[in-house]
Every structure is written in structure tokens, then in C-alpha cells.
Amino acid sequence: MRFLPTSIPDVIIIEPQVYSDSRGFFMEVFQAHKFAAAGLPSHFVQDNHSGSRRGILRGLHYQIQNPQGKLVRAVVGTIFDVAVDLRKSSPTFGKWVGVILSAENHLQLWIPVGFAHGFYVLSEWAEVHYKTTDFYNPQGERTLRWDDPQINIEWPLIDHQPPLLSEKDAQGKFLSEADLFD
């Protein structure tokens, strides 16, 4: 298992060692000792699994109360996964990282507390599994606009068409008006 830095040092790509043969493959996606040795959390309290069709964008979500670190992977299909730094005191405040996660590349993305998270589905269908460091708190949940020009995420939109959003996600706030972390 390798822990690879991104342009935002606290956001980490995890590349598992994949053992393949004619029967298929095996990989270890989490091991508490290895995560702890890499400075990442080794205790998660909730697992979530979602399925979405092509062109769906989920996010950018975060919780201001009960903030969550997230360990994200695509178990079916391909997504463009994004983390946005919402920590006012951070040198990378307002910056984003985007990574292609797929069932084929087996990569995971560690997104620490203090970040908004979202993903856009590139394949016909994708299933995303993620572990969280705290429990879901609907009263503390917030949504950041996916298309905030101040953040300027370079979404790989299919045929340059707008993504399909939930009503909640369509009403996300701009960074200039969002609840933030210190």
C-alpha cells in the first residue's frame, strides 16, 4: 500500500497493492497499522455506499458539526472525486484536488476534516463506498456550490453538459457565504 501526496498535502491518494491472476484479484484496502504509520486515521465509525448514473454530481458536502474525514473509493465504474479545503487558516484554503477513482485503478482518496467533498460520475454507472471518521449529522450538513467561480473546479463534464444535481446540491452556497472551518 502506497500513500501518495497531492497538491494539497493533507489529501492523500492511497494505492493498494493488487494481486491479480487468472481468477481475478485481491487487494487490501484498509489496514489500521499502515494508516496510522502514514499519519492517517485508523478509526472509522460509519461506512456509506451510493450508486449513481452517468452525469450525476453529488456534493460538494461537508459537516460543520460532527465534521467527517472520508476515505473514498469507487467499487464499480469511474468517478472524478473532489476535495475542497475549507480551513480558513490553511495555506491551501479554497483550493481543490480532483482525482479519477475507478474500479479499474483501485485508488482511494483520503479527505480530512475541514474539506468539502463531491464526485461526478463518468461511467454509465458508478458505486462509491466511503468510510467516515464521525457519524452523519443532517443538522450540521452543508453544501458548497459545485460551480463556484472562486474555487473554479475543472469538472470533466460529459459533452460539456451541466451535471444532474439533487435539489439540495443545486442550492449550495458560494465559498464567500459558506460556513467554514478555522
Catalogue the active-site residues.
61, 130
Distance of CA 82 to the CA centre of its chain: 5
Amino acid making up residue 122: L
Q: Residue 14, exposed/middle/buried by CB under 10 A (0-12, 13-18, 19+)?
A: buried
Do 3 and 112 meet the contact criterion of CB atoms below 8 Å apart?
no
